[in-house]
Amino acid sequence: MVCILGSFSAQAQSDRFIFGFFPEASLSYKLSEKYSVTHKVESQHGLYDSNNLNEELEYEHSLTDLQSFIGRRFSPFVKVDIGYQYRIEEGENTHRTIQQVSILQRASFYRIGHRIRIDETFFKDAPLLFRARYRLKGQIPLQGLSLDPGEKYLAVSNELIYMIQSSEDDLENRFAVSLGFYFDDKNKFEVGLDYRTDDYLVEDKFRHRLWFKIGYYKSL
């Protein structure tokens, strides 16, 4: 993975490169022992785009996503969610439906999460965009063999996305690493980097996006 990222960075001078700020926050609460609801807001704010003729930092609001999910837990390790997203961005706001399965593997000193997600994005004057996604995420405590309130942890994830719209398809990869602060069972905070690449299947076109990401996650 390090070699791949290094190769992408070396090509960034000729490809499109975007850098910005990516805050997100979520609120989760239980409806019953098996059912729960999660509301999430995330927003991307561009600070640099190599497509601009000048290479000065220039702020631009890229998009804001408003999401809501309802989930059913089948066991302590398996959860199924369906969700809806409303995206606000320049040009056209869009609607998205989401379906996902999350599987957790837990050991004495680490956690590994698998997430399989499909989503469908609806546009006013364009065909449906369909995406299939798989994310692998690991979490390791940085103080001792278990994560206790008031301690820090390291979170690393990689997600591969296949998308198709009409007869055109593409791939996207998302690699993220963050430092987490576990305050207690109901409050977590993370800060890190989110590196995304796409336009793999588009001839003479490739895009890198590097986001400085912060997130706050609240449970009731």
| pLDDT by residue, tens only, the chain of 220 residues | 433 434 444 454 568 899 999 999 999 999 999 999 999 999 999 999 888 755 667 888 999 999 999 999 999 999 999 999 999 998 899 999 999 999 999 887 889 999 999 999 999 999 999 999 999 999 999 998 889 899 999 999 999 999 999 989 999 999 999 999 999 999 999 999 999 999 888 777 899 999 999 999 999 9
> pTM for the full model?
0.88
How distant, in Å, are the alpha carbons of 34, 121, 129 from that of 126?
Answer: 38, 10, 9
CB-based contacts of 13, cutoff 8 Å, min separation 6: none
Rounded Cα distance, 152 and 128, in Å: 41
Of 43, 62, 52, 47, which Cα lies nearest the Cα of 16?
52
For residues 192 and 179, is the Cβ–Cβ distance under 8 A? yes
Number of H helices, E strands in the chain: 1, 11
Residue ranges of domains in the chain, CATH in brackets:
2-219 (2.40.128)
